[in-house]
Structure 1
Amino acid sequence: MLPAATTEPPFSFAEGCLLLVDKPQGWTSFDVVNKLRWAIRKHLGVRKFKVGHAGTLDPMATGLLNICTGQWTKRLAELQGLDKSYTGTITLGATTASYDAEEPITATFPTAHITEAAILAAAEALTGDLQQLPPIFSAIKVDGQPLYKKARSGQEVLVQPRPVTVHSFRITRIAMPEVDFEISCSKGTYIRSLAHDLGKNLASGGYLTALRRTRVGPYPIENAWTVDQLLELLPPNGHG
């Protein structure tokens, strides 16, 4: 059982700690890691220091990113295996190659036939143990190369389905063509794929237009720090 993350300073950056970070929109997970690694190195006055994240968030997404420093990086795999929770928005009636708003719309579909009952039933059908097809625009590696690089270069991409578990898929608002949701799921679940599959199950299309990670295992977003807040705790040269 992992100990609770420290939510108040002082953080033991040198010895190793788990930082709960609220990732801003437009940043990659590696952007956050690199920014904090640079600041920690300057703060401690060292040339090298281990910092890593436990589970990628797409640039469009916001929310909880677990960052490990020092000795805590040995527990990255343990953290990556924890269940996760999300909130977000799916837009029905269209699809994109990436299954989200990062790529342009490739096709549009009718939505007049979609009822609230149908949406609830389609979400229910996407709960439990699933064989999920990841998006071709993903970081999954095939032959040593991420799928998104193959897709962008025009290579034919063959994606294999992967087993995931969706513990709950709750619809919280319907304002066509937008549908808001709350999802709890296992590691490796692509919310973008759930958005795509929801549209498909409704004989229409669907793509993800907003996503926020709200929980990783026992760690909630309410305990997270912004990048700027953490940087304020990391003055250079170890002083402050």
Structure 2
Amino acid sequence: MSIYRYTRGTMNGILAIEKPSGLSSSKFLDKLQSVFSNSVVFEKDLQAAKELKLSQLKSDTKWTEQRIANKVKNLKLKMGHGGTLDPLASGVMIVGLGSGTKKLQYYLTGCNKTYKTKALLGISTTTGDSEGEIITKNPVDHVTKEMVLNTAEKFVGDIKQTPPIFSALKMNGKPLYDYAREGIPLPKAIKPREVKVFGIDVHEEDSLSTDHEFVKLESQLDENGVPKEHQLANNPTLNDSPLYFSREYSEKSGTEEETKVIPKAFAEGEQLPEKLPMIHLTCDVSSGTYIRSLISDYGRALETSAYMVELIRSRQSAWELNKNVFKMEDFTDRDPRVWGPVLEKVFQDGDKVILEDLFKEYTEKVKSEDEAKEIEESTPSDETKDVTVSESELPKKRSIEDVE
């Protein structure tokens, strides 16, 4: 008998899972949904959902029986997320399952997040990261470590920020990134939003380092070897948005929140080095903060430009990497008898759990269960035991002389 019995309706709630870089949030969520929908852990929950859907379709639609059967057959677990991550980004993704999807609004709008990010100085791009096209190139030789360190405080506090056009925000019902990709001019300017930056830590040990793995972005060339015009020719870039410093810094320094810092230009014959200097930041921010925009503004504040090359969401609310955040491998590589009860414990206790401890506990329980089962199967029952009798207990063989 298993140490854990799944009961119908128990597997609903909130979990956090680590999204890898290189995969969109929607595709990652589809993969998780498929893993859960095909697992014995959710077998009864999925069956209950199918029975409910079958009842609803039979009473509320005029569909044919075959169409209803196909709809029910292809049904997957109800799932949603508490905030997307760009394909380039990795880290904490909050997932709601079943009735847990009703609790996602807080994670979408009301919680704080921590990001670890790396950026290269000297280039700005259409997207604000390494997946975009080059817009500008600016000198970097004037930037000192002291400048990088001192710039952080300019963005800490209540601050206005313009979201990038490559974002899912909608204008007149159309996502901004569609305007950008189709080359259609925006009907109006992107409105700056109020966000809060609680803190920016500059990793001084590799500040302005060129000893890193990131390759400098190169312009796309046409058939004649001439750099192509970037796709935002008809729309504003992050460089066109106002540059704001925080209210707290402006009050302290006696300057205006909206400022003008003109990036330096190359002298004749100057060009960027092959390895661009890197800045490495850890940022604690409110919901709604775009790190790509923050990086772009940081570069402009240094009188140059910058684009993001790495982004890790290490914390969202109280969910933290290496503490209470699952990896996909926990569900694909571990025994369901282990991750099933661990996941239910997370649904019950939320972000208070320590996953490493839970996995250790249930792995030991499953191991003990398997050992007990193995012993039970190898021990003969009373009905099947071989009866062995010692030689002294056998009747003695009588000789002819004894008979006579």
Normalised to the residue count of structure 1, the TM-score between the two structures is: 0.88
Partner residue, 1:224? 325
Please give the alpha-carbon distance, in whole angstroms, between the structure 2 residues aligned to 1:40 and 1:128.
Answer: 41
State the one-letter code of the partner of 1:34. Answer: D
Partner residue, 2:71? none
Asked whether 1:178 is paired with 2:278, we answer: yes
Asked whether 1:54 is paired with 2:82, we answer: yes
Conserved in 1, the CA contact under 8 Å of 2:35 and 2:331?
A: no
Conserved in 1, the CA contact under 8 Å of 2:34 and 2:76?
A: no
Partner residue, 1:141? 170
Partner residue, 2:152? 123
Q: What secondary structure sits across from 2:292 in the alignment? A: helix
Instruction: Identify which of 16, 21, 43 aligns with 2:17.
Output: 21
Q: How many residues align?
A: 229
Partner residue, 1:113? 142
Q: What secondary structure sits across from 2:303 in the alignment? A: coil
Partner residue, 1:215? 315
Please give the alpha-carbon distance, in whole angstroms, between the structure 1 residues aligned to 2:166 and 2:5.
Answer: 39
Deviation at 1:127, TM superposition (A): 1.1
Q: What secondary structure sits across from 1:86 in the alignment? A: strand
Q: What secondary structure sits across from 2:104 in the alignment? A: helix
Please give the alpha-carbon distance, in whole angstroms, between the structure 2 residues aligned to 1:169 and 1:10.
Answer: 47
Q: What secondary structure sits across from 1:165 in the alignment? A: strand
1:23-172 to structure 2, matched below 5 A, reads 23-43=19-39, 44-45=42-43, 46=46, 47-80=75-108, 81-157=110-186, 158-172=189-203
Most deviating of 32-41 and 106-115: 32-41
Conserved in 2, the CA contact under 8 Å of 1:15 and 1:71?
A: no
More strand by share: 1
CA 1:161/1:234 → structure 2, altered by over 3 Å: closer, same or farther? Answer: farther
1:187-226 to structure 2, matched below 5 A, reads 187-222=287-322, 223-226=324-327
- 1:121-144 per-position Cα deviation (integer Å, ceiling 9, x unaligned): 222101111110011111111111
State the one-letter code of the partner of 1:139. Answer: A
Please give the alpha-carbon distance, in whole angstroms, between the structure 2 residues aligned to 1:82 and 1:11.
Answer: 32
User: Rg larger in 1 or in 2?
Assistant: 2
Please give the alpha-carbon distance, in whole angstroms, between the structure 1 residues aligned to 2:139 and 2:10.
Answer: 56
Please give the alpha-carbon distance, in whole angstroms, between the structure 1 residues aligned to 2:38 and 2:172.
Answer: 37
Deviation at 1:110, TM superposition (A): 0.6
State the one-letter code of the partner of 1:168. Answer: G
Which protein, 1 or 2, shows the higher relative CO under an 8 Å CA cutoff with sep ≥ 6? Answer: 1
More helix by share: 2
Conserved in 2, the CA contact under 8 Å of 1:11 and 1:17?
A: no
CA 1:53/1:129 → structure 2, altered by over 3 Å: closer, same or farther? Answer: same
Conserved in 1, the CA contact under 8 Å of 2:18 and 2:321?
A: yes
Conserved in 2, the CA contact under 8 Å of 1:32 and 1:227?
A: no
Deviation at 1:181, TM superposition (A): 0.7
